[in-house]
C-alpha cells in the first residue's frame, strides 16, 4: 500500500499525531494509498521552513536563476509524465484522454508561462515636474508578498495547484500547499521534482489533511502565512476569508458558478452541441466553469435537446486506461449522494428528465465506485433550486428563449458570475451579448479555450481577484514606488 507523507523543507515526513486517512479510487471504491494527516505541528514546521527559505537563498536569488529553476521543474514534470498521469487518474477517475491532454501538460506549462512572464514584465516609470525645475523620477519595484498558503481543489488537482504555485514561486514567494484530501498524489509527487530541479529546501511545502480542525484551518489561521489563495466552493471561501481577516491578509478566490450557455438560432449547431457536451459533461461535470444552465432560442430548441440527449447517451464509462472511455466517475460517494439529491429534487420540482437521472449499471469491478448518469432536464421554472444552485455534476437544464433581452435577464439572474458561453454566427450580436453578461469569462463559439496571459476569475459570489498573466502577479507581489528627486 502506497504511503503519502507531507513534504516539508525538502523532506518527506510523517505526522506527529500518527493520524492517517485513506485515498480512495473513485472508480472502484478501493483504497489506493494511506495519507498522513497534518495538524498544527506540521503547519508550524512548513510555515517556518517557508519563512526561512524566503529570508535565505530563494529570497536573494537573481531572477534569471529563479526562472531557470522553474523551467527545470516544468521539464521534470514532463520527464515523469506517465507517473503524474497515472497518479492523477487514480485519484480522480478521469479518463486518460482528458488528463493527458489537459491536466498534466498544463500542470507543467504553468511553471514556464509564469517564469517567462516575470522575467519580461515591465513596471511603470514616470518623470514628474517639481517647483525647482529639476524634476523627479518615479519607478515601481516588485517584491514577493511572502509565504503564500495554497489550498487547491480535487477536480483538476495538478493543474489548479500549479496555476497558483507557478506564479507564486515566479514572483519569489514560498508556499505551503494543502491539497484536497481526495487527491493528494500529484501534489506530493511534485516534491520529488522540486528536489531534482534544485529548488531550495522550504520553497515548496505540502501538508495533507482536511479543513476544520485539521491542516486547512491551521494553515488559514497561521500568523506566518502572508496571503491565501483558494479554489473551491463558496462556503469554504467564506470561512477562509474570515480567517484571513485576522492580520489583514490578502486573499485570491476562484469559487463556485452556475454558468449559462446561450445558443442562438443562427449558431453552428454542430459546434454548439459539441461545445455544450464538453461544458456540461467533461470531467463528469466537475468543472468550475462548466455549464449547468442552457438557454436555446425557440426555433432550434427541440433539435438541440434531441441532439444533446443523443450525445449524452453516447458517452462511454469505464476505467481510465480502457480504450474509448470518455466519462469517469464523480470524485467520491459523498459527492455522488449530493448530486443524486439534486437529481431527485429536479423531479420533485417538476422537471422533465430527457435522459439520465440516476446511477448506471456498471461491471462488478466498479461496484464501489461513484458512478452517475449524465443527465438533462427541461421544463423547470426559473426559480427552481436545480436551476439556481451549483450542483457540480454532469447535468444541465435546457430552457427556450425568444429574444436577446429576455435571455440576458435569465442568464444574469444568479448570485454567481464565473463564466458563460455564447453560440452565434452574428459577431455583432456576440460582442453585444458578451459585454452585457455578468461573468468573469465569456466564450464565444467555444468553451475552455484559454490563453494563459488573460485574466481568469469571477464576479459576485464566484470569487475575488484575477489569476493569469500580469493580473495574477498583482496578487503574488507587492509594489514599491521609488521616488528619486533629481
* Residues with active-site annotation: 254, 288
Residue pair 38/208 in contact (Cβ under 8 Å)? The answer is yes
Q: Bridge partners of 237? A: none
3-state secondary structure of 163: helix
DSSP state, 441?
E
Residue pair 354/309 in contact (Cβ under 8 Å)? The answer is yes
* Cα–Cα dist 325/31, whole Å: 22
* Cα–Cα dist 126/198, whole Å: 38
- Dihedral over Cα of 203, 105, 189, 93: its sign: positive
Q: What is the grid cell recorded at 243?
A: 480567517
* Cα–Cα dist 438/433, whole Å: 10
3-state secondary structure of 127: strand
For 407-442, letters b (16+ CB in 10 Å) and e give bbebbeebebbbbbbbbbeeeeebeebbeebbbbbb
For 245-281, letters b (16+ CB in 10 Å) and e give eeeebbbbbbbbbbbbbbbbeebeeeebbebbbbbbb
- Comparing CA positions, the residue from 217, 218, 87, 234 lying closest to residue 161 is 87
CB proximity list for 186: less than 8 A, separation 6 or greater: 84, 87, 88, 91, 107, 157, 158, 161
Q: What is the grid cell recorded at 455?
A: 485574466
Alpha carbon 280 to chain centroid distance? 16
Residue pair 190/76 in contact (Cβ under 8 Å)? The answer is no
* Cα–Cα dist 261/412, whole Å: 11
Give helix then strand counts, H and E, for the chain: 16, 23
Residue positions counted in the chain: 486
Alpha carbon 351 to chain centroid distance? 30
Strands (E), 152-241: 174-178, 204-206, 227-231
Residue pair 278/286 in contact (Cβ under 8 Å)? The answer is no
Residue pair 58/203 in contact (Cβ under 8 Å)? The answer is yes
Amino acid at each position: 500500500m502506497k504511503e503519502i507523507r507531507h513534504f516539508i523543507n525538502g523532506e518527506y515526513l510523517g505526522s506527529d499525531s500518527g493520524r492517517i486517512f485513506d485515498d480512495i479510487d473513485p472508480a472502484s471504491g478501493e483504497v489506493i494509498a494511506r495519507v498522513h494527516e497534518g495538524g498544527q505541528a506540521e503547519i508550524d514546521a512548513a510555515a517556518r521552513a517557508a519563512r526561512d527559505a524566503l529570508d535565505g537563498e530563494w529570497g536573494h536569488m537573481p531572477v534569471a536563476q529563479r526562472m531557470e529553476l522553474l523551467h527545470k521543474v516544468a521539464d521534470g514534470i514532463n520527464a515523469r509524465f506517465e507517473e503524474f498521469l497515472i497518479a492523477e487518474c487514480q485519484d480522480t477517475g478521469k479518463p486518460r484522454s482528458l488528463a493527458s491532454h489537459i491536466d498534466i501538460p498544463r500542470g507543467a506549462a504553468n511553471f514556464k508561462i509564469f517564469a517567462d512572464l516575470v522575467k519580461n514584465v515591465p513596471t511603470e516609470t514616470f518623470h514628474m515636474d517639481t517647483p525647482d525645475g529639476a524634476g523627479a523620477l518615479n519607478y515601481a519595484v516588485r517584491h514577493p508578498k511572502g509565504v503564500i498558503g495554497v489550498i487547491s481543489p480535487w477536480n483538476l488537482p495538478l493543474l489548479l495547484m500549479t496555476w497558483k504555485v507557478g506564479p507564486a514561486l515566479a514572483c519569489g514567494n514560498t508556499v505551503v500547499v494543502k491539497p484536497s484530501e481526495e487527491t493528494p498524489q500529484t501534489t506530493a509527487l511534485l516534491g520529488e521534482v522540486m528536489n531534482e530541479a534544485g529548488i531550495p529546501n522550504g520553497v515548496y511545502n505540502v501538508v495533507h489533511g482536511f479543513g476544520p480542525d485539521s491542516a486547512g484551518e491551521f494553515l488559514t489561521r497561521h500568523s506566518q502565512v502572508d496571503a491565501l489563495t483558494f479554489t473551491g466552493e463558496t462556503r469554504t471561501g467564506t470561512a477562509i476569508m474570515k480567517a484571513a481577516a485576522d492580520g489583514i491578509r490578502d486573499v485570491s478566490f476562484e469559487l463556485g458558478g452556475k454558468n449559462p450557455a446561450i445558443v442562438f438560432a443562427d449558431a453552428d449547431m454542430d459546434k454548439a452541441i459539441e461545445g455544450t457536451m464538453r461544458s456540461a459533461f467533461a470531467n463528469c461535470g466537475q468543472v468550475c466553469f462548466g455549464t449547468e444552465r442552457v438557454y436555446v432560442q425557440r426555433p432550434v430548441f427541440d433539435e438541440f435537446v434531441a441532439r444533446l440527449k443523443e450525445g449524452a447517451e453516447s458517452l462511454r464509462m469505464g476505467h481510465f486506461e480502457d480504450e474509448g472511455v470518455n466519462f469517469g466517475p464523480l470524485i467520491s460517494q459523498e459527492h455522488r449522494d449530493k448530486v443524486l439529491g439534486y437529481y431527485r429534487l429536479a423531479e420533485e420540482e417538476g422537471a422533465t428528465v430527457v435522459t439520465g437521472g440516476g446511477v448506471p449499471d456498471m461491471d462488478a469491478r466498479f461496484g464501489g465506485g461513484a458512478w452517475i448518469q449524465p443527465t438533462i432536464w427541461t421544463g423547470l421554472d426559473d426559480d427552481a433550486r436545480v436551476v439556481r444552485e451549483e450542483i457540480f455534476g454532469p447535468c444541465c437544464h435546457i430552457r427556450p428563449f425568444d429574444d436577446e433581452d429576455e435571455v440576458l435577464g435569465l442568464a444574469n439572474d444568479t448570485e454567481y458570475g464565473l463564466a458563460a458561453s455564447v453560440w452565434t454566427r452574428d459577431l455583432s450580436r456576440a460582442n453585444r451579448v458578451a459585454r452585457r453578461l455578468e461573468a468573469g469569462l465569456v466564450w464565444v463559439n467555444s468553451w475552455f479555450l484559454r490563453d494563459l496571459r488573460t485574466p481568469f476569475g469571477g464576479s459576485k459570489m464566484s470569487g475575488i481577484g484575477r489569476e493569469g498573466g500580469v493580473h495574477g502577479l498583482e496578487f503574488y507581489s507587492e509594489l514599491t514606488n521609488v521616488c528619486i528627486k533629481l
